[in-house]
Structure 1
Amino acid sequence: MSQNAFVYTELQISAPFDQVPWQRINNAIKAQPGFINKTWLSGVGNLSAGGIYAFDSVVNAQKFVTGYFPEEAKGFGVAQTTRVFDAVATREASLDMNSAHYGAKFDQIPGAFVYTEVQLHVLPFDNGPWRDFNPILKQQPGLLSKTWLSGLHTGTVGGFYAFDTIENAKRFAIDYFPTETKALNAAFYTRVFDADATKTASIDMASPFYA
């Protein structure tokens, strides 16, 4: 299956990842229509749990975030965040950033992931400034990969990044990224995740970062 949509999720919980029933959840998610892969996420500092997913279509991604996932969050008794992104629109920009979601390989497995979203409306995505930003992003210490994200309907611009270490991921999210959004005069959202904690669960879900 070819990916046409990405989904980001995060549950408002605080639990060490080894206490998350990921095996049960993995089995349930694998049965969802159009599911291709998932990379599990465990929040640095707050121990939230979530994921970045690839789906074969926007329709199936929407079914996931309106059907299955709210019920999963309800089962935990917690609030949740979900986003759907157009994977087709960002393919060229992501390929230029060594995106694992588009088949890129790297010599080491990630030590951390970063999720970003900027409060801008950029539609179509290709009219945005990604060609200006990619050369600068490639110079960030420890960056292994970026998958660009374009919000379905909203046109928000964001990304899912893989870094070699948590330290470099935090440096990017705390020091560099706010300078980028200040230049754009836009509010933003960032999250840093511990990739080591979720490696086994992500491999079980065909995460492209461990292929």
Structure 2
Amino acid sequence: MNRKFSEIYSSSINNPEEFWKKISDDMFWFKKPTKILNQSNPPFYKWYEDGVTNTCYNALDIHIDQGRSNRIALIYDSPVTGNKNIFTYKELRDKVSKFAGALQNQGISKGDRVAIYMPMIPEAVIAMLACGRIGAVHSVVFGGFASNELASRIDDSKAKVLITASCGFEPGRTVEYKPLVDEALKLASHKIDKLILFQRQGHEAVLKAPKEISWEESLSNAKNVDCV
């Protein structure tokens, strides 16, 4: 094992509060935390509880503000489909900002939960960062999981919106997501307000308006929004 990594790992285990204090010094904060770790109610530990930040700003906007707009932020390279794409920080920020506006149009605000049931495509990253941008909590469910597993996570999170795709591609087969989603929504005791579905070319799913809309439709009247 690399000695430097070994030392870093050891520090994180033996002195976690000091370790994460140093990490916090490299982050952007609207309000820098004075409390690093609250261990008063184990196992429910609280980190940075009096600090205020935005994870999307730390992932994207800070790089743009520091002059790295045209540096590469995300590389998409699918070994299954052969599709490739590259996003700069500015390109990714613009897509995230627009989709964050789309979520706001569906009534999502700070503290609301959003379930994400997607294949590993750029839109999954965009959805996660968009939630962080407006202070929503995202619950990622592995795309293709059985309907009962998705239903249990919808019930646990009390998600207001479910973001999904029409299908996922695996070696040798295509997994149609919409039938799995439909069954999960029947099984779940908690009922979502809206379904947003990314249509994959050649495998489009039938949507039931007005509760179900496509990704593109959600963006049609969305405005770019800043980090909260």
Q: What TM-score range do you get, normalising by the shorter chain? A: under 0.3
The structure that is strand-richer by fraction is: 1
TM-score between the two structures when normalised by the length of structure 1: 0.26
Higher relative contact order (CA 8 A, sep 6+): 1
Instruction: Flag the structure with larger Rg.
Output: 2
TM-score between the two structures when normalised by the length of structure 2: 0.25
